[in-house]
Amino acid sequence: MSHPLRETELPNPRTVDLDLATPLQIADLINAEDQTVADSVHAQRVPIATAIATAENALRHGRRIVYIGAGTSGRLGVLDASEIPPTFGEKPGRFVGLIAGGERALRNPIEGAEDRPDGGRQDLVEIQLVVGDFVIGVAASGNTPYVRAALEFARGLGCPTALICCATPLPEMRKATDILIHVDTGPEVLTGSTRMKAGTATKLVLNMISTGAMVRMGKTYRNLMVDLMATNTKLVDRSERIFMEVCKTDRATARDAIDNAGGSVKVAIVMHEKQVTRERALTLLDIKAGFVREIIGPIPVPI
């Protein structure tokens, strides 16, 4: 059965002379198109907020957020999931990224992987998907068989589902989706190349969902990532700067405080501000579900 040409596959009248453009003109053409993406994402703020709330609910009940997609869409989901542990100190596996064709597909195209519905179902079976996991399909075209089958399987199991797409999804895809985030980015600069505007839009939406869920889970204080994992020199420096910002101390004090807190910036802040032991700080954080503000209150921001 044939279907109407998807929006992302339509030719862009503003870039029909792309092959005649100078380097500067190419930069200007791409940039002009990219400037439309944020507004397209904003138009989907309500379903994005619903996805944030759904993700929060899943995490609070010990469940996972599962991104599943193919090609660029799949890679973006894997990227977002992989950045959650170091950024927010979340346990590995709470956010899962699945891509058609598996690990090899992250760097190499796997021909036909996105067209195999059995792959989407099997990948969810292999991670032992359970009721309450939140499955987010990522499919710029709104028509990826791998993603559609995954959403159908998840919904049949009783999992909430969402779809991030940039073209009108087919009815069968829509039927398997509880939360539809359709970011209408329109025709690409390079016809059909959804790694461009559609990819940018997808990354923006994924950022909003994961960051929003982590904020709602108490992983931040003000706009500071107080639960980050200091796994390299840059992050050690950031940890110390966060402590210094919140507690108004010097670098040496910050370093000692974080060491005494077992490497946790969040615990160090509570220990310092409440003048309590590490054990008491951990207890307070447990009582307040990890929300630093609930324990130490707001600290005035310099004007």
Rounded distance between C-alpha atoms, residue 275 and residue 5, angstroms: 64
33 flagged as catalytic? no
Say which DSSP state 224 is in: B
Catalytic-labelled residue, pool 9, 83, 172, 245: 83
Catalytic-labelled residue, pool 7, 56, 114, 188: 114
Are 73 and 101 in contact by the 8 Å Cβ rule? The answer is no
Among 220, 221, 251, CA closest to 236: 251
> SS3 of 154, please?
helix
Among 15, 193, 217, 237, CA closest to 227: 217
Rounded distance between C-alpha atoms, residue 252 and residue 256, angstroms: 6
114 flagged as catalytic? yes
Rounded distance between C-alpha atoms, residue 81 and residue 78, angstroms: 5
Among 93, 56, 103, 94, CA closest to 209: 56
- Which residues does the annotation mark as catalytic? 83, 114
